[in-house]
């Protein structure tokens, strides 16, 4: 389970942060390099398989990064166990819904 091992959580945070930094830099470069950005340009970019996979990995990276961070904060600051598990369950469900929603946006028609 994520959030239970210190070194694994540390690695997840670092790898997801590095990937998200490169993904963000690529998007900034694309925006600054493309003279006019319009709907067709975005559709063209995000319809390529490598960009869809990169975006999917970015969605999963955001979810993992957020989960590890919020798990750490909740274990430090929410002391009643029932309340902590309730908050973590809500966070998990929200992150899961966001990732599934992102998948539908990427590959849905």
Question: Rounded distance, CA 99 to CA 65, Å?
Answer: 13
pLDDT given for residue 1 in this prediction: 54
pTM for the model: 0.87
Question: Rounded distance, CA 53 to CA 38, Å?
Answer: 22
Q: Kindly list the structural domains of the chain, giving each domain's residue range(s) and its CATH number in brackets, ordered by start.
A: 6-107 (1.20.1300.10)
pLDDT given for residue 4 in this prediction: 60
pLDDT given for residue 6 in this prediction: 81
pLDDT given for residue 108 in this prediction: 80
pLDDT given for residue 36 in this prediction: 86
Q: Are 42 and 105 in contact (CB under 8 A)?
A: no
Q: Are 17 and 65 in contact (CB under 8 A)?
A: yes
pLDDT given for residue 33 in this prediction: 93
Mean pLDDT in runs of 10 for the chain (109 residues)?
74 96 96 90 91 96 96 94 96 97 87
């Amino acid at each position: 389970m994520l959030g239970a091992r210190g070194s694994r959580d540390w690695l997840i945070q670092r790898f997801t942060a590095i990937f998200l930094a490169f993904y963000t830099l690529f998007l900034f470069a694309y925006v600054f390099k493309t003279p006019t950005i319009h709907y067709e340009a975005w559709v063209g970019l995000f319809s390529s398989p490598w960009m869809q996979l990169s975006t999917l990995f970015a969605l999963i990276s955001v979810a993992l990064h957020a989960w590890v961070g919020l798990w750490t904060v909740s274990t430090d600051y929410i002391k009643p166990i029932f309340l902590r598990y309730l908050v973590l369950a809500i966070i998990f469900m929200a992150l899961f819904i966001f990732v599934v929603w992102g998948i539908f946006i990427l590959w849905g028609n």
